[in-house]
């Protein structure tokens, strides 16, 4: 590797493209508290925050019923979607695509293969929801609707009972 000529600083920007992204720290300390900077978050982290927001809003009303429920985010569903693939009733699918794209899933409490008890788990699939959202607000609404639908299935209630529409 060749050294830079004397008197001229060595440049890291060899191809003239400039910096490759924003220089934003992931965390800022304000008043002794570390606060995450939203601009530095990945799409996955922003999606996780949307799910947490939806869950926190519903936990205010359904705290006792949701205390043992786990919430998870997966990028894509781990199911085979062949022509004759059958989805179990805990899977919420996009009806506009012929019912073939899972958006969320409810895994009820039960017993696993080793005989251990498991808690109920609500899984939200990030990529299918992002593909259907026009913008961030639309994505937040979709995430909220999926979480409400899965909680309604878990509690055997109508989604409007879980999260009543504004009057």
What pLDDT, in 10s, does the model give residues 108-123?
888 888 888 899 999 9
Q: Is 30 inside any structural domain?
A: no
Cα end-to-end distance, the chain, whole Å: 70
pTM for this prediction: 0.72
What pLDDT, in 10s, does the model give residues 129-143?
999 999 999 999 999
Q: Is 22 inside any structural domain?
A: no
CA distance 43 to 150: 23
Q: Is 2 inside any structural domain?
A: no
Report the CATH number that the domain containing residue 84 is assigned in CATH.
3.30.2010.20
Q: Are strands 33-36 and 91-93 parallel, antiparallel or unpaired?
A: unpaired
Q: Is 141 inside any structural domain?
A: yes
Q: What's the confidence (pLDDT) of residue 1?
A: 47
Asked if pLDDT for residue 82 goes beyond 90, the answer is: no
CA distance 105 to 125: 8
């Amino acid at each position: 590797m060749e050294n830079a000529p004397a008197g001229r600083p060595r440049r890291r920007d060899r191809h003239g493209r400039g910096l490759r992204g924003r220089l934003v720290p992931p965390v800022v300390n304000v008043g002794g508290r570390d606060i995450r900077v939203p601009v530095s978050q990945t799409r996955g982290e922003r999606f996780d925050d949307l799910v947490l927001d939806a869950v926190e809003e519903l936990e205010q009303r359904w705290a006792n019923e949701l205390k043992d429920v786990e919430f998870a985010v997966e990028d894509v569903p781990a199911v085979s979607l062949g022509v004759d693939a059958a989805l179990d009733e805990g899977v919420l699918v996009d009806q506009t695509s012929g019912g073939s794209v899972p958006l969320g899933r409810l895994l009820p409490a039960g017993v696993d293969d080793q005989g251990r008890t498991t808690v109920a788990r609500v899984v939200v699939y990030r990529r299918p929801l992002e593909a259907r959202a026009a913008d961030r607000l639309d994505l937040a609404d979709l995430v909220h609707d999926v979480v409400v639908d899965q909680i309604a299935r878990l509690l055997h209630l109508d989604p409007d009972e879980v999260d009543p529409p504004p009057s």
